[in-house]
Structure 1
């Protein structure tokens, strides 16, 4: 049976992606939905993008744009490299592209430009990197940057009283728009959890691969998940986005 698998933030960790693909026994029959932040962190950002480009030729893939991807796309398009980006993993991305030809850079830029801001599947499940603030859903979002940056959606779910049911008038209306919502962006490590975390009808798949955590992949139907080793063990000579 064809699976739908959702993958959390990778942040340049190709070794982790290859490892978790093997552990989940990913095949060409699986539909893969990536939640963004493919780059900025570990040393293999450019190799991750090349890997994903080649992967998309072999099977169905949906690539959501994250805030780090938006930064990298802007750098590739205009050469703009703000300090806030460079200090948050951008430097490693720039270095990973140091020996790329102009032709290959154009191919990678085209890949970034084709990413989606969000995706809704046949079962009314939303896949988005960060979140949205509009009560009418992401399609009515005033600020498109919220797709990549919003944390209020997740913070709302985390703060909710578990006793509040979907039938209650107190249940947040913007959560009721979708059967389930899958996000990345805010590491579950922030609340002391190392595995994918469910709050209300939101599943957070960012398990901190940019920092000390692992990369996670989940079957959206069964909620079975697989994880890589923690990224610092896979890149022992690097710091990722961990700075002194």
Structure 2
């Protein structure tokens, strides 16, 4: 029998060029934290959460084998359907379902990736990278999260902050070249309403967004310094300046963010 072709899957940064679809499976490099993410994925399967890949084992080349989640991710250049408010609503609802499904999982026996900083390292498990290309859509609706490499113990608010940063997006308008430009605050409100973020979460969200921005920048910066190809390709002087503009925009618009959340 002829072996199934290996089809490169685009998107992602840390594993760029190293993730392949083989039939109805996905083959990815194993990591020191794979046991932890596999335990989380098995828990999600056990509680009936359908919005994540299933762990199928390890192949003959030492790669993890996951189920392929059919659908489309929002990869560059972003399709118009992925930037609609309706798509954003479905992202918020998917995140909420994930956090509810993960709530019964005990992460303490495992070694995880980059730790979430206090005070957002509390109860729960965060995906930690709900980027546009890590959410699978079908018919314009977000149905699954993929790429759990950065998953770790963390408060659900940490994921909401990351999603707001990436999907609204909370950054300088000059760095938004699509239909979301000048709509960040409106989309922020849409996301948190769809998620059902409570009053305390809304009060703490801006702090979480600022901390999440710094946390992710440091992961990419250190990855680039270590020679990780995807990180090194991204972390250019232009990227450094874009992230500095995002930081300034968040500080300069703190009152407007608070008003949008009220």
TM over 0.5: no
Greater relative CO, 1 or 2 (CA 8 Å, sep 6+): 1
TM-score, normalising length: structure 2: 0.27
Larger proportion of helix: 2
